[in-house]
Each structure stands twice: as C-alpha cells, then as structure tokens.
C-alpha cells in the first residue's frame, strides 16, 4: 500500500521558497527582518517566523540574538563528528511522560548515529531534589543530556555543569542554555480573551508543580495577568496547588467543584486532561454546557474526540530537528546555546462555549 503523501504546512512551503532564494545568493550576509520579509512573501509574520525557525534548525540560518535579523550560516571547515551517548531525563515516570515528542527525538537522534537512553529515574521520582538528581546524573555515563520539562532549580544546576545539555520545554528561557519549546503566551492571551467574551469568570489553569513553584512561570504569569486585565480577581483558585498523583488530582477536582465550580478549565497535559474528562463524566457534567475545556497542547488522541478539544497548536516537528542539530554541533565539539522558540496559537473548538449561569 502506498504511503499517504503529507501536505506541507504553509511555514514549510515558505521555508522551501526562502531556501531557493538563499541558494540564489540574493542576500549576501543577512536576511530582512520579520515584518518586511512577511510583506514580501505575502504571509503572516507568524508564518515567516516559523519558516525562519525551520531554516535555523536545519542549519541554513544562524540567529544573531533577540531583535536582530538572521544571518546566513557559515559552512567553512566542518570538524569530524563523533557518536554521542545522550541521556534523557524525563519529568515523570516513562509510562506517564514518553510522548510523541520524545519518541520522535529518540528516533531522529538514533538515525543520526547517536546512542540514546532514558535515565532510570525521573525528576518526579527524585522529588525534584537537586542533590538527588545531580547524584543520579553523575552516576550515569553520558556525553550529553536532554532534560524534559525541567524545573528552574534543576535546569540551573545543569547550566553550571561542564557537560552539554539541552532543555526540552521547562523553565529555561532566562538561563544561558540550549532550549527548544513553544511560546504559549499569545495562545493564552487569545484563549482568555475568547473565554471572557463568552462570559467566563471562574477560569482555572491546572499545571504541574515546576510551572507553579517557587513562583509561576512565564506563561502562567501571562495567564494571571490576562485575567486581571479583564477585571477577573486572581488568586490560588486560578492556579491551584495539588498533589501530582491520580488521587491528588481527583481531590483537587472535588475541591474545585464543591462550592464555586469553575466554568472553564485549561489543562497542561493530555493524561491529566483525560483524568479530568473522566471526573466530569462521573459527575454528569457536560462539555461545554457545564464547563469549557482547553488543552495547552495537541494530542493525537484528540482526533477521536467529538467535539474536537480546543487546544494550543504549534509545530512539534521543529522540536526533533532542533535537538538533532544541537547534538550535531556538540558531536563536532561546538558549543550550542541557542534557544529555539516555536510560536503557538489557540485553536478554538467544540469544547468551549458560553459560561453557564449560576
């Protein structure tokens, strides 16, 4: 049976067109900025930015820093590449955390000739204790590490070590480290705006501990700021603490729906969202009639949901490309501390609706 032909996204088509322009030699050293480039190519600034990120991850372009246009990458003498043994430190236990992103990254790294393995224990299993994590990492032979959804304290420790590592998601954007992940800020702004217009005031974001403590992360602050900007009082109710176990999540949901039930839930991970859907079904609470539901990532299981789940969308293929290019640089003895930020957008769907009146 013939394989289905995958249709290129608009960003990929734009990147292909830009690749042809680069090969023609039209731009000698650097590209125009995002706005003039998007106008010339007749695409949105978001599409132009995504196309440039694609070209960066494949090595055709080089970032010159925040606010500066990209430069053409230099392809002078290339040092010989060595095989790396890359360790992956997951956020949660493998059964909970090995997502399509991780599988794709591991596959692409192995195709590139590297050896990839998972650390025996996750950050959750080590209780986010930096001392325990550092001991576990030092006792595990590896040339380089990939840290998935690391806390600020864990990533700070990694940033002070002599071995290379790259942060996959997590709270690394203020640290001088290699990083790849989505920028969900604009998606949060759009989602809150639409929810408030639909009459929602009791909006709760459910996310993991590293996103909340010791203080809310960047996008969590954007979430709270947007609520306040729309006149919604904010507090612990909107970004609740909870014990990150199935029982702890159930207890949180019971607490939320006991007195002042939320009219909208924004959920950070697909397994957590599935558990919440089960809780709502047991309570005979319908979506979106009783509560609106938004996921901050898209999961392939959503294809089987009806109505489709409202979610944040970004290009996951850029993650694996960035990690492979980082590994390629490290394997040739080059330092790579580039941070690749992937634009995300809010995709409204059938799981959001008008807020139910009390």
pLDDT tens column, 302-321: 888 888 899 999 888 888 88
Distance CA 59, CA 54 (A): 9
Interval 5-13 mean pLDDT? 69
Q: Indicate the range of 38-42, 160-164, 290-294 predicted with least confidence.
A: 38-42
Looking at the domain assignment, is residue 349 inside a domain? no
* 105 lies in the same domain as 42: no
Q: Is residue 114 part of a domain?
A: yes
Q: Is the pLDDT of residue 335 over 80?
A: yes
Residue 117 lies in a domain: yes
Token representation of residue 227: 């609520």
Please check whether residues 125 and 49 belong to one and the same domain: no
Of 34, 78, 85, 40, whose CA–CA distance to 56 is shortest?
34
- Residue 6 banded pLDDT, cuts 50, 70, 90: very low
Q: At what angle do helices 100-111 and 317-331 cross, to 10 degrees?
A: 40
Same domain? For 176 and 257 the reply is: no
Under a CB-based contact definition with an 8 Å cutoff, are residues 327 and 59 in contact? no
| Count of beta carbons in the 10 Å neighbourhood of residue 60 | 18
Residues 242 and 275 placed together within one structural domain of the fold: yes
- 200 shares a domain with 309: yes
Tell me: do 242 and 327 sit in the same domain.
no
How high does pLDDT run on average in the chain? 87
Residue 121 maps to a domain: yes
Neighbour-count burial of 273, counting CB atoms closer than 10 A to its CB (0-12 exposed, 13-18 middle, 19+ buried): buried
Give tens-digit pLDDT for 136-158.
999 999 999 999 989 889 999 99
Same domain, 272 and 193: yes
Looking at the predicted structure, is the pLDDT value of residue 270 above 70?
yes
Asked if the structure places residue 357 within a domain, the reply is no
Predicted local distance difference test score (pLDDT) of residue 64 = 58
Residues 170 and 220 placed together within one structural domain of the fold = no
User: What is the span of the domain harbouring residue 104?
Assistant: 85-182+315-344
Q: With 90 as the cut, is the pLDDT of residue 76 above it? A: no
pLDDT at 78 over 80: no
Same domain, 236 and 304: yes
Residue 3 lies in a domain: no
Q: Are residues 207 and 307 in the same domain?
A: yes
Domains identified in the chain, total number: 3
Question: Which residues are within 8 A (CB) of 2 and not within 5 positions of it... i.e. 6 or more apart?
Answer: none
Write down which residue in 72, 95, 118 finishes a domain: 72
Residue 188 has pLDDT above 90, yes or no: yes
Indicate the helix (H) or strand (E) that contains 85.
strand 85-89
CATH number at residue 151: 3.40.50.2300
How many angstroms separate the CA atoms of 191 and 29, rounded? 39
Q: How confident is the model at residue 290 (pLDDT cuts 50, 70, 90)?
A: very high
Q: Which tokens go with 317? A: 């293929």
Distance CA(149)–CA(182), nearest Å, equals: 12
pTM > 0.85:
no
Asked if residue 5 belongs to a domain, the reply is no
Query: Is 222's pLDDT higher than 50?
Result: yes
Q: Does the residue 323 lie in any domain?
A: yes
User: Domain check: are 54 and 141 in the same one?
Assistant: no
Q: Where does the pLDDT of residue 13 fall: very low under 50, low under 70, confident under 90, or very high at 90 and above?
A: confident
Same domain? For 250 and 137 the reply is no
CATH, residue 44: 1.10.10.10
For 87-118, write each residue's pLDDT tens digit. Answer: 999 988 754 445 677 888 998 999 889 999 99
């Amino acid at each position: 049976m013939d394989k289905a032909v995958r249709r290129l996204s608009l960003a990929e088509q734009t990147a292909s067109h830009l690749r042809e322009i680069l090969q023609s030699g039209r731009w000698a050293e650097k590209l125009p900025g995002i706005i003039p480039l998007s106008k010339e190519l007749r695409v949105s600034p978001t599409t132009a930015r995504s196309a440039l990120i694609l070209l960066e991850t494949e090595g055709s372009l080089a970032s010159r820093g925040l606010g500066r246009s990209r430069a053409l990458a230099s392809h002078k003498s290339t040092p010989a590449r060595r095989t790396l043994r890359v360790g992956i430190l997951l956020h949660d236990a493998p059964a909970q955390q090995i997502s399509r992103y991780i599988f794709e990254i591991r596959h692409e790294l192995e195709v590139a000739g590297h050896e990839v393995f998972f650390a025996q224990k996750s950050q959750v299993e080590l209780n986010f204790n930096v001392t325990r994590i550092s001991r576990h990492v030092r006792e595990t032979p590896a040339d380089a590490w990939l840290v998935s959804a690391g806390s600020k304290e864990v990533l700070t420790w990694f940033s002070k070590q002599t071995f290379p590592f790259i942060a996959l998601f997590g709270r690394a954007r203020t640290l001088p480290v290699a990083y790849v992940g989505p920028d969900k800020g604009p998606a949060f702004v759009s989602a809150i705006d639409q929810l408030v217009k639909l009459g929602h005031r009791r909006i709760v974001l459910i996310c993991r501990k590293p996103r909340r403590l010791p203080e809310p992360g960047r996008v969590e602050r954007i979430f709270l700021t947007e609520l306040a900007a729309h006149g919604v009082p904010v507090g612990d109710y909107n970004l609740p603490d909870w014990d990150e176990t199935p029982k702890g999540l159930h207890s949180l949901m019971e607490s939320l729906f006991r007195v002042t039930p939320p009219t909208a839930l924004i959920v950070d991970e697909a397994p957590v969202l599935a558990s919440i859907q089960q809780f709502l079904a047991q309570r005979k609470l319908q979506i979106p009639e009783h509560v609106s539901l938004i996921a901050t990532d898209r999961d392939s299981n959503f294809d089987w949901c009806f109505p489709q789940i409202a979610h944040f969308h970004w290009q996951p293929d850029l993650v694996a490309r960035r990690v492979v290019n980082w590994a390629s640089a490290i394997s040739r003895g080059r330092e790579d501390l580039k941070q690749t930020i992937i634009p995300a957008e809010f995709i409204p769907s059938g799981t959001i609706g008008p807020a139910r009146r009390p």
